Structures are given as C-alpha cells and as structure tokens.
Amino acid sequence: MLPESVLNRAAAEMLDYKGTGQSVMEMSHRSKAYEPIIFGAQQLFKEVLNVPDNYKIIFAQGGASTQFAAIPLNFMNGSGKADYVLSGQFSTKAYKEAQKYGDVKAVASSKEQNFTCIPELNKADFTPDADYFYICQNNTIYGTRFTELPDTGNVPLIADVSSCFLSEPMDVSKYGVVYGGAQKNVAPAGLTVIIAREDLLGNARDYTPTMLDYKTLADNDSMYNTPPCWSIYMCGLVLEWIKNIGGLEAMKLHNEKKAAILYDFIDNSKMFNNPVKKSDRSMMNVTFVTESDELNAKFVKEAAEAGFVNLKGHRSVGGMRASIYNAMPIEGVEKLVDFMGKFEKNN
C-alpha cells in the first residue's frame, strides 16, 4: 500500500513533471531534470534513516532475490565462509543460492517449528572467520521478525530488510550491509535499495557480472545503466511523506498501534489464532488461522466481498495474513478487526 498523498502527487505530476513537459517515465536518466530526483532520493534516504557517512546507498534492480547471489559474489571472498540463519522461506532461498559460491553454514533454523519463531542463536555455533553473517530481519510469509540483532563481533552482519524497511528507526552502523526490495514500504516494484559499508566494497570475485558488482554501481551513482527511474521518483515521494509525518520514530508508533489492535483482537478471540511466538511477532505481517481450512477459505471469500484484499495466506502455509505496511491507516486495521468480530459471531 502506498500513501494516498503520494499517489495523488504522482498523479498530478504524471503528464508534466515540474514544467518539463514530460513524465518522469519518459525522462533520460542522464538529463538535468532527472538528476535531482535520483540524488534527492538518495539524500533523503540518508537523512530519514540516519545513514552514516561511510556507507553507500545504491539503487539497483533485480529485487531481493537477485541479491541472494550478489551478496556472496561481493562479500564471501576472504575465508570463503558465511553463516546464515534460516528463519523462513527467503533466508532459506538465500542460503541455498550462497552455497553455490562457498562454505555456507546454517547456524540456526526454525524449520522444525514451521518457522513460527526466530530460532535460538548460540554464539558458540558461529563461524569466527566467516566473511559475513546473514539474516532476513522480517519474515512476510510467517509473520516473524528479529527484535534483537545477533552479536556477530567483527563479522559483518548482512540483513534482508525488504518487508520492514523504513518501518521504524534502524542503527545502520550495526550492519555491514542492509538491502531490500522496495515494494513493501518504500516504492513500487522494480527498485532494490542496498546500503553497504564502503570498506566492504571492491572485493567482488573477478567473474561477478558487472551489474551485480556493488562497487561498480556505487562508483557510477547507481546509473551504470538506466535505473528504475519511476520507482526511484516514487521512493523520494514516500521518503518525503515519512519525513513530514515526523520521521521513523513517528512511523514506529503508528505501526505499533496498528499491530497492537490486530494482535489484541486475535489473542482475545475464540475463533482466530496467531501461531507465532509472541516475542517474535512481526509488526508488518500478521498471520492468523481458524480451526479449519474450510472456515479459512470462507473467511477469505467473505473478506474479499467486503473489500479486504490479499488476506489469503501464502500458498506454503495457508490461513490468512494481513500485511499492514507503513501506509495502511489505523482505520484500515480497525475495519478489519470489526469484520473479523462479525465473522466470528456469525460462524
């Protein structure tokens, strides 16, 4: 979901961006009209997220899934080892991709718990000379998140933050790299944002494709080739919106309030249940089920008829999932809870 004010502004500028007589969709990425858009978005990202000066902000393509290969190609080049925490489908995919490039260890997994929690971490299991330590910080399918970051010492922490980007303040200095597909909280699909510590760049394997070498992208201001111009423009508008509502502290309060309304209802319901360990619950993705697949299907069908879209859970887990990303207003969650109450009463 995108903020309505952002969509309205994009609509108003669709045919003529600031008197240029053209849409952002039509601009050359090397034009004087476009430069302030991309550099402005990078600067806003730095400002809103309080990114330290020794980090590069890279706008790339390919989604998070392409970075599953780019990460080991760029960073698993010292000992050739890396540690991965398997907390869901996407960290597992990243782990399997990285295995093509080196000695990759799954230091913990919650697969046996159906990924309903973040796995317990034992520092004794960590690889002391690993090139990096990898997590997926928020798990969309299962509705879990890391509320505490693992202590990896001198080993750089790399995090896929696709589904929790810009949802709350983040201390970027605790990471070597954070990255994410933009299509949950940041912008329309097509843009991937990578924030990488400068000293980690420049060691990509010699056979790394040019477009996956983060240093090449950083050195060319994310314009080695034509970037996803429209998504970057939208990213800038979303960042302005976050800044104007009070920044990430205000965003966090907004998101906590929404999540509390939904979790409180589920916890007091006789019909609906959330399978996730309470301390690991996601603020962005709330999963819930009833006692049967038939009732789940009936709920999804009637919810869609009432105007609630995309409530069906991921095909791998079933049930329901409410994604309450940044732009979802509190009113939306209140209406969902009201509908769930009526459904419970009627069934």
Q: Is 120 exposed, middle or buried (0-12, 13-18, 19+ CB in 10 A)?
A: exposed
**Same domain as 189, residue 259:** no
pLDDT at 314 over 90: no
Reading the block at residue 318, the tokens are 């079933």
Residues 6+ apart with CB under 8 A from 264: none
Please write the tens of the pLDDT for every residue from 210-233: 999 999 999 999 999 999 999 999
pTM for this one? Answer: 0.96
What pLDDT, on a 0 to 100 scale, did the predictor assign at position 177? 98
Number of domains present in the structure of the chain: 2
CATH number of the domain residue 137 falls in: 3.40.640.10
Average pLDDT value for residue range 314-324: 90
Q: Are residues 133 and 89 in the same domain?
A: yes
pLDDT over threshold 90, residue 147: yes
Band of pLDDT at residue 318, cut at 50, 70 and 90: confident
Over residues 227-265, the pLDDT tens digits come to 999 999 999 999 999 999 999 999 999 999 999 999 999
Q: Residue 315: is its pLDDT beyond 90?
A: no
Residues 255 and 162 in one domain: no
CATH number at residue 329: 3.90.1150.10
Both 26 and 149 in one domain: the answer is yes
Pick from 244, 276, 295: which residue ends a domain? 244
* 108 and 190 housed in the same domain: yes
Average pLDDT taken over every residue of the chain: 97
Q: Are residues 252 and 210 in the same domain?
A: no
**Distance between start and end Cα atoms, the chain:** 30
Query: Is the confidence at residue 127, as pLDDT, over 90?
Result: yes
**Which domain range does residue 21 map to?**
4-244
Q: Which of 244, 274, 307 lies at the terminal end of a domain, its last residue?
A: 244
**Are 142 and 155 contained in the same domain?**
yes
Same-domain pairing of 220 and 277: no
Determine the Cα–Cα distance for residues 242 and 279; give it in Å rounded to an integer.
27
Among 226, 244, 262, residue at a domain's last position: 244
| Angle (CA) 155 159 163, round 5° | 170
